[in-house]
Chains A and B, each alone.
Chain A
Amino acid sequence: MRVQLTVNGERKETEVWEGESLLFALRERLGLPGSKNACEQGECGSCSVLLDGTMVCACLVLAAQADGHHVVTVEGLAQDGQLHRVQEAFAETGAVQCGFCTPGLVVATADLLEAKPDPSEDEIREALSGNLCRCTGYAKIFDAVRLAAGR
């Protein structure tokens, strides 16, 4: 079937098989592999994207369900060649190691700061608890969130 959706502000159209997830369509059909495929069952948060402004796991949304909707992926966060402040903060603080969780965490942090510009320590921990990271132990990710919030 054919689906039409707006991704990072651009109208896109692609053929998909009915069982394909939004994650698969983004990665394999629309040339946007930034959203990651770590578990594909909604447990790790590495495919977090915004669907009409609400954060979702792209692996749990069918591509067909996104037909006619707006999607923002990690590739859409930087504007006019300027990194999003969350992206800058992650790079600066050492919050990135292997980086496989990073796109999802960057999207989740941007979403958190949009809703709560000055989150408490507990609010940060709770908001990011759906995003698994295996490399960092999260310490530098918390540093990054605080740095981005302060900017």
Chain B
Amino acid sequence: MSAPVREKLELGRVGESVKRVDAISKVTGEFAYASDLIAAGMLWGHTVRSPHSHARIVEIDISQALTMAGVHAVLTHADVPGAKTYGLEFADQPVLGIDRVRYFGEPVALVAAEHPEQARRAAEKVVVTYEPLEPVVDPERATEQDPIHGQNPTAGHGFREDPRPNVLRSIVVRHGDPDAIGDVSVSGVYEIGIQDQAFLGPESGLAVPDGEGGVDVYVATQWLHVDRDQVAPCLGLEKERVRIHLAGVGGAFGGREDLSMQIHGAMLALHTDRPVKMVYTREESFVGHVHRHPAKIWMEHRASREGKLVCVRARILLDGGAYASSSAAVTSNAAAFACGPYKVENALIESTCVYSNNPPCGAMRGFGAVQGCFAHEAQMDRLAAELAIDPVELRLLNALETGDTMPMGQKIRGSLPVAEVIKRAAALPVPGPEELPRDPIRLPGGAGNTTRGEGVQRGVGFAVGFKNVCYSEGFDDACSARVRLRPGAGEELNAEVQCAAAEVGQGVTNVILQVARTELDTEDVALAPGSTDGVGSAGSASASRLTWMAAGAVRLACRDALAEFQDTGREVDLERTYHHSRTFPLDPESGQVTGEGVHVAYICAAMRVVAEVDVELGLTRVVWIGAAQDVGKAINPQAVFGQIEGGAAQGLGLALMEEIQTRDGLITNASFTDYLIPTTLDMPPIDSELIEEPDPDAPYGAKGVGEPPTVVSTAAVVSALRAASGRELARVPVRSDDLAGL
């Protein structure tokens, strides 16, 4: 059972559980997702992708494809009108492969045709001659192999200099005395496989030429303005001539931070002077977007006999794939949160991300904190066992709190109720053991009917974790909102709010409306469509930041608009930009922050999990999850519980089943047949509790909610599996062989 929701109001204010504004159109099928769009005279675009993970492009022959029925355009890198490369932080990724491809599925050519099948068939007739190169696929060897980029794209950007080949970013954090020793020491080596966001709505969009050389792109994305800033230079157009509009988004989870079809669709539309729709297949989606970084983590914890942490030493190796994407920030997060939400006075942390020819990696919910949490929580359980201290007590003994200093030198301000989330999660009542015999669906193996319960053992696990809210290291990820205010019917004000915040399913639309209703004291609030046209950037639907930032921007704009309206009595139309407190970059040599803080704020969560393991067959059943999460303030409690439940499911997926598998850099399981995500039969009931300790800096005290459940649940589920099976389980997803000891 999920936690009961509070009173529901159709038109709610801050703090009330409010039905989603798009709920009705989504249950009736009327809501228009990016893949649902059509336009008169529309063509279908298709992408020709590399079958190699690393190869030299010798020749591209489009002559045959051009003659195919229904084909209107076949384009290659030679047709890219402007800059040939783009990227979120570093413009290192070719719009279309030029002389080399560096990952399996890298786009090489584009086709537009009247029917999608014609486009697919023509794509097969684009003849690309490749000369395969040895792929860099072992991250531990990457720094000794030939560089996959002639010039390292991230060199010279203020990061620590590292002369080794294929280093994307390497951070070394020295905190206190990294050689401090304790009474006891525990060590482990942990591995995390590649996880996919697996949002259900495939990458899609519609590009429409405006007849004057410009283009409108309607697309499922996470950050409209940064899409535009990447698209326009590649089209050789001024920014104003490229308008990006938010089309319905079928989930994101970080996978839509990088561009997908935006430049490609716009190129085809401008070339053919026709609207062009592109919809990825599921297979294409799996190869066409970035994934969560796989990692290998070496970790040592030194502690006193009483259980106080003395020193943590961690080495983290992340595989970034071929292009930089957001890997530099993921590398920094991995270092920042490697020790977990604990007081650690001495630490040595090395976090390195390498380039490779494995699938490209970038943003996914949890963003660098997930991998470390799996490792530090395994270590805390190991330390508890070594010291014969209760694992929950050990965590409480070391819990980080406001005023403590993080390994990068930041003193924690604001709210961070780590001890409280631990206590609240630990106090959630665990369901009692179930009797045998049972319906097979309530046993490990489930509907597969593999056991009557003979080899089934039960265990209870625990984990706590945290991460940052908003962007870090000196980046000012501001958010703008525009408010138009005029007298409405009767006494009420009529307001229209415009904000380019991407509604990706997380519920930011409701946050915006609830804030506006609260500030303007009116129910009569409409939300204008999200677009780069008419309002400034909202920043990304990332880093659990949009509740904080959009609430901040909308509140600021509403308050100023109301004051002006009350002053003049006339219609008001104004835009305001909200900035969070300033952050500062790291010193490249010491890994210490160069100002007050490297991060804006932190959010934490704890989970208690009950699991059963069939120790003979290595099959699992997660029985129950209890979660306690620090949210600052729940703007819409129903949506907050929904984020916790959904986030926990994604972490459970990484713990038990989700992994992109590769051979020589080629993805071998790009389908929902072979890449499994949790179903109704995998997800247990979840009891969640919210800890609302308002952050003094955050609007209404609301910090954010999306990521902590995903950060913690992988670690918590595996902790329960260890308790049930007695196995070490140092790698996720956990395999049956690991559980059965084979």
Contact = CB atoms under 8 A, between A and B. Distances in A.
Interface of A: 17, 19-20, 27-28, 32-41, 43-44, 46, 73-75, 77-78, 83, 87-88, 90-94, 96-103, 106, 122, 124-126, 128-143
Contact of B200 (A27, A94, A100, A106): A100
Given A94-B641, A134-B199, A139-B685, 19 more contacts: A17-B117, A33-B29, A37-B35, A38-B202, A41-B671, A43-B672, A96-B20, A97-B642, A99-B250, A100-B33, A125-B441, A129-B447, A131-B680, A132-B672, A134-B253, A135-B505, A135-B646, A136-B649, A138-B678
Residue among B249, B282, B447 facing the most chain A CB atoms (10 A cut-off):
B282
A28 B43 CA distance: 12
Nearest to B671: A41
B200 A87 contact: no
Given A38-B282, A43-B673, A139 B251 contact: no
Contacts of A124: 680
B326 interface: no
A90 B26 CA distance: 10
Interface in B277-336: 279, 281-282
Interface string B1-42: 110010010000000010110111011111111011010000
Contacts of A92: 8, 19
Contacts of B507: 97
B94 interface: no
Contacts of B30: 34, 75
Contact of B506 (A17, A27, A97, A138): A97
B31 A99 contact: yes
19 contacts: A27-B36, A40-B281, A77-B28, A83-B24, A97-B646, A98-B250, A99-B27, A125-B441, A126-B441, A126-B447, A129-B681, A130-B679, A134-B251, A135-B642, A136-B649, A137-B645, A138-B649, A138-B678, A139-B686
B28 A83 contact: yes
Contact of B28 (A17, A19, A75, A125): A75
A137 B648 contact: yes
Contact of B22 (A40, A46, A99, A122): A99
Nearest to A141: B680
B442 interface: yes
B368 to A, nearest CB: 21
Nearest to B18: A94
B635 to A, nearest CB: 14
Given A28-B38, A37-B202, A134-B198, A99 B685 contact: no
Q: Interface residues of B: mostly helix, strand, loop or mixed?
A: loop
B612 to A, nearest CB: 16
A91 B24 contact: yes
6 closest pairs, A vs B, by CB?
Answer: A34-B29, A98-B505, A99-B26, A100-B250, A137-B649, A137-B645
Given A37-B279, A98-B201, A73 B29 contact: yes
Residue among A33, A96, A135 facing the most chain B CB atoms (10 A cut-off):
A135
Contact of B27 (A44, A106, A135, A138): A106
A73 B673 CA distance: 24
B60 to A, nearest CB: 28
B583 interface: no
A99 B250 CA distance: 7
Interface of B: 1-2, 5, 8, 17, 19-20, 22-24, 26-33, 35-36, 38, 115, 117, 197-202, 249-253, 279, 281-282, 439, 441-442, 447, 504-507, 638-639, 641-642, 645-650, 671-673, 677-681, 683, 685-686
B453 to A, nearest CB: 16
Contacts of B27: 74, 83, 87-88, 90-91, 96, 99, 102-103, 106
Contact of B645 (A38, A99, A136): A136
Contacts of A78: 28
Contacts of A27: 36
Contact of A137 (B32, B447, B505, B686): B686
A27 to B, nearest CB: 7
A129 to B, nearest CB: 5
Residue among A87, A98, A100, A131 facing the most chain B CB atoms (10 A cut-off):
A98
A143 B2 contact: yes
B424 to A, nearest CB: 18
Nearest to B506: A97
Given A98-B199, A100-B201, A91 B645 contact: no
Nearest to B645: A137
A41 B672 contact: yes
Given A73-B29, A92-B19, A98 B251 contact: yes
Contacts of B19: 91-92, 94
A46 to B, nearest CB: 6
A17 B281 CA distance: 19
Nearest to A104: B200
A136 B686 CA distance: 11
A103 B20 CA distance: 16
Given A37-B279, A94-B20, A129 B679 contact: yes
Contacts of A101: 200
A94 to B, nearest CB: 4
Contacts of B638: 94
Residue among A32, A36, A134, A141 facing the most chain B CB atoms (10 A cut-off):
A134
B249 A98 contact: yes
B398 to A, nearest CB: 29
Contacts of B673: 41, 43
B29 A74 contact: yes
Contacts of A99: 22-23, 26-27, 31, 250, 505
Given A19-B117, A44-B672, A129 B642 contact: no
